Amino acid sequence: MTLVKLDPSYEELRAVARDFARKEVLPRAAELDQSMEYPEALFRAMVDAGLTALPIPEELGGSGAGMVGLCVAIEEVTRYCQSAGLMVLLSRLAAGPLLVSGSPEQQRRYVPDVAAGRRRGSFCLTEPQTGSDTSAITTGARRSGGGYVLDGRKAYISGATVADFYVVWARVPDEEGPRNLAAFVVDRDSAGVSIGHIDEKMGVRGVPTAEVVFESVVVPADARLTPPGKGFAHLMAQLNSARPGVAARGLGLAGGALRYAADYARQRQAFGGTLLDLQAVQFLLADIAIGLEGARSMVYNSAALVDSGSYGKEAAPYIAMAKAAAADLAVKASSDCLQVLGGAGYMMDHPMERYYRDAKQLQIVEGTSQIQRLIVGRSIRDGGLTFD
Ligand SMILES: Cc1cc2nc3c(=O)[nH]c(=O)nc-3n(C[C@H](O)[C@H](O)[C@H](O)COP(=O)(O)OP(=O)(O)OC[C@H]3O[C@@H](n4cnc5c(N)ncnc54)[C@H](O)[C@@H]3O)c2cc1C
């Protein structure tokens, strides 16, 4: 049990997601990590179970479970497997920019297909030369013949090789302001779009990460999602609105690691009792449990903020706190739980070394743990967070 109580409808969803995770995800998790192949059959099973439809409103073909519902499903799936959790999240990462910034027509064109698993998308912001400093991206969107021509290279894009469309952040040179950013939705089969370097990763290896290259890619005017002068604000809103989903991956990983380590320590004999009888081991696990209960409350509160339509500047520090807390917890939990297993934890006979490798990604993606602190710190400085 947990002290964080959600509406009963979410608890029903939790039971379904838990069952799915045990039957479909757990048996595949280790193999997924080793083969490094995208699991098409697992994706189809996710679609059939309705997981890709969760964060999408009913009028666009989804089930309207919102970010809270998505976090519930992600938390359950990531108790066993981060790659599977990222696959669930990717439906929101692809549809999110359209939901936050797209017109009704743009939404109708893409979002129902994402909900039904007919099309997959990737979010393309990071470039080889810049990640955290988003206002320094150099991918260009030059106006031409009533539309735009895109040129640039995006790096570390999750799901790039299996995506059917990309949400691409670019700079529009003839628009005013230092942050003349705009988002475009670009079909994968557009002329000039190609996959560059495919990364070899330390963790989350079931979902490919790759460069996406745009060479003189012609897109129509209605491929543009964000209005002139508002690009940076829309980018921040898109990132804020997705962050609870990344944070939920940290909750699942920490909870899964904690349960596994506690079960192991309960049966492992040492010094005339079990490992779990040792207070030093109890304290290690207790610290993770304390962190988990706190992070869970922050993550579901931030997801509820997003569902209430609050993911702008006022909500940003709370969402950032939740993301940083859950990501940092996942890294600590995977390290400490591996320690509880001793030598066994280091071996691939147990999942802990995989959790350890997978956890680190969470402190980097969707804004690093430092960038989350930067958001919180600036909010304190500027009076957004007042602690009155
Ligand atoms: C597995 C994986 C999947 C990814 N998937 C995607 C994806 O789907 N789409 C996408 O667009 N990107 C994706 N990324 C990229 C990810 O979002 C970036 O790696 C991340 O934003 C950091 O950018 P960077 O790597 O350029 O690091 P940098 O920005 O170069 O940062 C390097 C270090 O400096 C720190 N730092 C930077 N600026 C500051 C500051 N102002 N204050 C304090 N510390 C700072 C950072 O926290 C970090 O520790 C993915 C990355 C990984 C590893």
Question: Could you tell me the domains of the chain?
Answer: 8-115 (1.10.540.10), 121-223 (2.40.110.10), 231-382 (1.20.140.10)
In order of 5, 244, 294, 297, the CA distances from 1 in angstroms are 9, 21, 14, 13
Instruction: Average the pLDDT over 338-346 and give the result.
Output: 98
With left for phi above 0 and alpha for psi between -120 and 50, is residue 229 left, alpha or beta? left
Give the pair of three-digit tokens for residue 95: 């549809």
Substitution site in 91, 126, 214, 236 for ligand 1 pocket (most atoms within 8 Å of beta carbon):
126
pTM for the model stands at 0.97
pLDDT at 29 over 70: yes
pLDDT at 371 over 90: yes
CA nearest ligand 1 atom 12, residue: 126
Exposed e or buried b per residue across 113-140, where buried means at least 16 C-beta atoms within 10 angstroms of its C-beta: bbbebebbbbbbbbbeeebeebeebebe
The DSSP bridge partners found for residue 167 are: 123, 185
Instruction: Average the pLDDT over 302-316 and give the result.
Output: 97
Q: What percent of the chain has pLDDT over 90?
A: 96
Coil vs helix vs strand at 49: coil
Residues 6+ apart with CB under 8 A from 374: none
Q: What pLDDT digit, counting tens, does each position of 234-290 carry?
A: 999 999 999 999 999 999 999 999 999 999 999 999 999 999 999 999 999 999 999
Residue 125, ligand 1, Cβ within 6 A: yes
pLDDT at 44 over 80: yes
pLDDT at 71 over 70: yes
Instruction: Average the pLDDT over 308-314 and give the result.
Output: 96
CA nearest ligand 1 atom 25, residue: 131
What pLDDT is attached to residue 161? 98
**Cα angle: 82, vertex 253, 320; to 5 degrees:** 95
What is the 12 CA–ligand 1 centroid distance (Å)?
36
Whether 76 sits among the annotated catalytic residues: the reply is no
Nearest to 74 by CA among 206, 311, 243: 243
Residue 123, ligand 1, Cβ within 6 A: yes
What is the 262 CA–ligand 1 centroid distance (Å)?
33
Q: What pLDDT digit, counting tens, does each position of 148-177 carry?
A: 999 999 999 999 999 999 999 999 998 877
What pLDDT is attached to residue 311? 97
User: What is the C-alpha to C-alpha distance for residues 191 and 163, in angstroms, rounded to an integer?
Assistant: 15
What pLDDT is attached to residue 3? 76
What pLDDT is attached to residue 176? 77
